[in-house]
Structure 1
Amino acid sequence: MVILSEKRTERDVYEAISDQTRRRLLRLLADAEELPLYELTVHFEMGRTAVSKHLTILKDAGLVVSRKIGRETRYRLNATPLKEIHDWVSFYEDFWKERMFKLNLLLEEQKMKADVSLDFQYTSSIEEVWKALTDSEMLAKWIWENDFKPVVGHKFQFRAEPNKWWNGIVDCEVLEVEEPHKISYTWASQGENTTVTWTLKEGSDGTTHLHFEQAGFSEETKATKGAIEGAIYSWTKMGEQLGKVLDQ
């Protein structure tokens, strides 16, 4: 009785399945309990002797066992040694799953990264600025006419004067309300679906710091010359108008 070392057995299993013909033999045997040599040979463009040599290599690796029935030798699969390869592949499968998970997180972070980011500061209290951001009548004074309500899930519209390039409609839905520190809603217009977020912070001197973000522009829009710059310009003007409304 010959006992192969663990290292030799590992090498034999890997070498045994490295050949396409031997892998196909294993697949044929996996689909049947037992097959004689002649039934295996018909699947290959080679003679019985060549197929028999491949089966011998698989037998040496413990992947195939055979038995004699009269003058006929029948072969069957022994899949146990393949577990070693499965375990080896599984290690790298977990390795790549972890890295793909981290990559997806990074891509999501990049996706949610604000395309437009602006900061404003007002002498008004945080409560006053919050009201200007969430009261429909006040919103109309520095953005556009609207039917806004600070309620998560509420769908509303901003309605501006239409022109030949734009119907003047922005469809929105409230996503987040944290009075008086944060308000977020979708901003869908002309095929673009973005998210607008206002974050308020009260300064030690009684002023209010207002941070604005708009995220989610399509790659096509971001690649369009002047598109993001145009959004920055528009929101900057609105922020200035908000300051005038607060000063009234």
Structure 2
Amino acid sequence: MTETPPIRTVVIEREVAAPPEKIWRALTQQHLIEEWLMKSDFTPVKGRKFTFRNQPRPDVSVVVDCEVLHVEPNRTLSYSWEAFGLESVVTFTLEPTPAGTVIRMEQTGFRPDQDLAFRGARASWKQFMAALEKVVADLD
């Protein structure tokens, strides 16, 4: 009997000096998502399919097919993330603290043969989360 290689997960966690409601807006409103992640036709409704799109260079187009898996306003948002052969799940969890909110982003589903995608996601999500924090800081 052979063992199945472990599925890897990228986790980024940080505390943000803002209430969960403010972070939720940045996670769920299209114009704000575009500021920190990518253009999308996202709507926070379970079962809703949507797409993230980006063109970082004229010769490169990024399309991520997604479906909303779980929505608990101001608490948890989860969606599938499929691109370039990767089938994964992205989950954001918001936990209120005395100083603001701990936001945890977890992307799971990286197979052992997807090391490049895993390393790329680890680097990209750090940048995305820093951009998210900036967007949240600028919200009224």
Give the alignment's TM-score, normalised by structure 2: 0.88
Q: Can you give the 5+ residue segments of structure 2 that lack an aligned partner in the other structure?
A: none
- CA–CA distance in 2 between the matches of 1:183 and 1:199? 7
Residues 238 and 187 from structure 1, CA distance in 2 versus in 1: closer, same or farther, beyond 3 angstroms? same
1:216 corresponds in structure 2 to 109
Q: Does 1:242 align with 2:132?
A: yes
Q: Does 1:142 align with 2:23?
A: no
Please identify which structure carries the higher strand content.
2
**Letter matched to residue 122 of structure 1:** V
- CA–CA distance in 1 between the matches of 2:65 and 2:49? 8
Other structure's SS at 1:216 match: strand
Other structure's SS at 2:18 match: coil
How far did residue 134 of structure 1 move? 0.9
Residues 190 and 162 from structure 1, CA distance in 2 versus in 1: closer, same or farther, beyond 3 angstroms? farther
Contact 1:181 1:199 (C-alpha < 8 Å) held by counterparts:
yes
Other structure's SS at 2:45 match: coil
**Letter matched to residue 246 of structure 1:** V
Q: Can you list the C-alpha shifts for 1:71-102, whole angstroms capped at 9, x where unaligned?
A: xxxxxxxxxxxxxxxxxxxxxxxxxxxxxxxx
How far did residue 229 of structure 1 move? 2.4
2:19 corresponds in structure 1 to 125
Q: Can you give the 5+ residue segments of structure 1 that lack an aligned partner in the other structure?
A: 1-103
- CA–CA distance in 2 between the matches of 1:170 and 1:211? 21
Other structure's SS at 2:61 match: coil
1:175-214 correspondence to structure 2 within 5 Å: 175-205=69-99, 207-214=100-107
- CA–CA distance in 1 between the matches of 2:102 and 2:68? 22
Please identify which structure carries the higher helix content.
1
How far did residue 167 of structure 1 move? 2.9
Give the alignment's TM-score, normalised by structure 1: 0.51
Q: Can you list the C-alpha shifts for 1:155-207, whole angstroms capped at 9, x where unaligned?
A: 000010165885310000000011111000000001111100000000023x1
How far did residue 245 of structure 1 move? 0.8
- CA–CA distance in 2 between the matches of 1:219 and 1:154? 29
- CA–CA distance in 2 between the matches of 1:190 and 1:167? 11
Percent identity between the two aligned chains: 34
Residues 162 and 245 from structure 1, CA distance in 2 versus in 1: closer, same or farther, beyond 3 angstroms? closer
How far did residue 231 of structure 1 move? 1.1
- CA–CA distance in 2 between the matches of 1:196 and 1:211? 10
- CA–CA distance in 2 between the matches of 1:201 and 1:186? 22
- CA–CA distance in 2 between the matches of 1:230 and 1:186? 17
- CA–CA distance in 2 between the matches of 1:231 and 1:192? 11
**Letter matched to residue 61 of structure 2:** N
Other structure's SS at 1:161 match: strand
Q: Provide the aligned C-alpha RMSD in A.
A: 1.9
How many residue pairs get matched?
Answer: 135
